[in-house]
Amino acid sequence: MTSDSTPPTPSSQPPNQPTDINAARKFAVPNRLAGKVAIITGASSGIGQAIGIRLAAEGAKVVIDYVGRPEGADDTCQVIAQSGGTAIAIQADVTRSEDIERLVAETYRRFGRCDILVNNAGVEKGADFWDVTEADYDLVLNVNLKGAFFLTQAFVKRLIDSKQGGRIINISSVHEDMVFPHFDSYSASKGGLRMLMRNLAVSLGPHNITVNNVAPGAIVTPINKSLLENKQQLQALLNNIPLGRMGTSSEVAGLVAYLVSEEAGYVTGSTFIIDGGLIRNCHEQ
């Protein structure tokens, strides 16, 4: 990476700052995804938003799925349209089966196909294990795991019928593998996504559909708002990251763009960690 592309440090990038659009586009490979249609869930902010911008910059028509932030989804579509890309926003809650059906049906109605699914929508709730409420557990598991499960099912049903290949990416986390005390439901959901991805790679391989997980570490996004506001906690985390900084949504989007491209046709059943070395930095002293 050249010095002018050095991503901003957390202190210069407040948690609610929208995706750096130029960064999201900077390394885009023109036309790599031309003719493809992609659904990205939870794409009105953070990592999902950067993925939407990046895939559109590579020529895909993108569906920006959102739940609660219509303005974020509209902004994302506008940014894409302004640079000549095609994007539509669809409000659909991945925890509701009728919304899932509508999201896929509407994508086919508007674009006639759907080649790529990025299961990005995710939430986390921190608490001591003994204080976790059933409501919080249900929310986390329903968004992070059940949503990805059934949206993937709806996506592949049509794809298999159409006999085209396809690409599925789950935005997982280093915590599909690495312990994360106080985030037990989140870790369980991400561990579940890991095994779901591995199973589906086997079931869907014969249909030429690849399935992979992208596992980010600490990325500057709204999900990390409270961490970014707590200087002490943030410093403790940065001390554990060999590269000494948090990552950016655009960096995650770049990895996704490769994995959904034709070039990655032989890549399936794997998790791709993008964490500045965090997961390898488990040492005693």
Q: Is 112 left (phi over 0), alpha (psi -120 to 50) or beta?
A: left
x/- site string to ligand BGC, residues 149 to 178, per CB under 6 A? ------------------------xxx---
> What amino acid is encoded at 113 in this protein?
R
Token pair, residue 4, equals 């002018």
The least distance separating ligand BGC from the CB of residue 148, rounded to whole angstroms, comes to 15
The least distance separating ligand BGC from the CB of residue 70, rounded to whole angstroms, comes to 23
Q: Using CA atoms, how far apart are residues 149 and 119, in angstroms rounded to an integer?
A: 9
In which residue are the tokens 């085209």 written? 164
CA atoms within 13 A on the CB side of 255: 21
Residue showing the smallest CB distance to ligand BGC in the complex: 173
Enumerate the active-site residues.
186
Q: Which residues contact 280 (CB under 8 A, 6 or more apart)?
A: 242
The least distance separating ligand BGC from the CB of residue 44, rounded to whole angstroms, comes to 17
Instruction: Please work out the total of residues on this chain that contact ligand BGC, with binding judged by CB under 6 A.
Output: 9
Please select the residue that binds ligand BGC; options are 107, 142, 224, 249, rule is CB under 6 A.
224
Q: Is 184 in the site for ligand BGC (CB under 6 A)?
A: no
- Kindly report the CA angle at 149 between 143 and 154, in degrees rounded to 5? 115
Is the Cβ of residue 89 or residue 228 nearer to ligand BGC in the bound state?
228
Q: Using CA atoms, how far apart are residues 45 and 18, in angstroms rounded to an integer?
A: 7
Q: Is 217 in the site for ligand BGC (CB under 6 A)?
A: yes
* Element holding 62 (H helix, E strand): strand 61-66
The least distance separating ligand BGC from the CB of residue 29, rounded to whole angstroms, comes to 27
The least distance separating ligand BGC from the CB of residue 229, rounded to whole angstroms, comes to 13
Q: Tell me which stretch binds ligand BGC (CB under 6 A): 2-10, 29-37, 68-76, 217-225.
A: 217-225
Interacting residues with ligand BGC between 50 and 89 (CB under 6 A): none
Q: Using CA atoms, how far apart are residues 217 and 35, in angstroms rounded to an integer?
A: 31
Token pair, residue 267, equals 């890549």
Please select the residue that binds ligand BGC; options are 88, 123, 139, 227, rule is CB under 6 A.
227
Interacting residues with ligand BGC between 110 and 149 (CB under 6 A): 124
Is the Cβ of residue 59 or residue 217 nearer to ligand BGC in the bound state?
217
Is the Cβ of residue 99 or residue 124 nearer to ligand BGC in the bound state?
124
The least distance separating ligand BGC from the CB of residue 87, rounded to whole angstroms, comes to 25
> What amino acid is encoded at 239 in this protein?
N
Is the Cβ of residue 9 or residue 153 nearer to ligand BGC in the bound state?
9
Q: Using CA atoms, how far apart are residues 1 and 209, in angstroms rounded to an integer?
A: 32
Q: How many other C-beta atoms can be found within 10 angstroms of the C-beta atom of residue 198? A: 15
Interacting residues with ligand BGC between 235 and 274 (CB under 6 A): none
Q: Which residues contact 278 (CB under 8 A, 6 or more apart)?
A: 174, 178, 217, 218, 240, 241, 242
Q: Binding residues for ligand BGC, per CB under 6 A?
A: 124, 173-175, 217-218, 223-224, 227
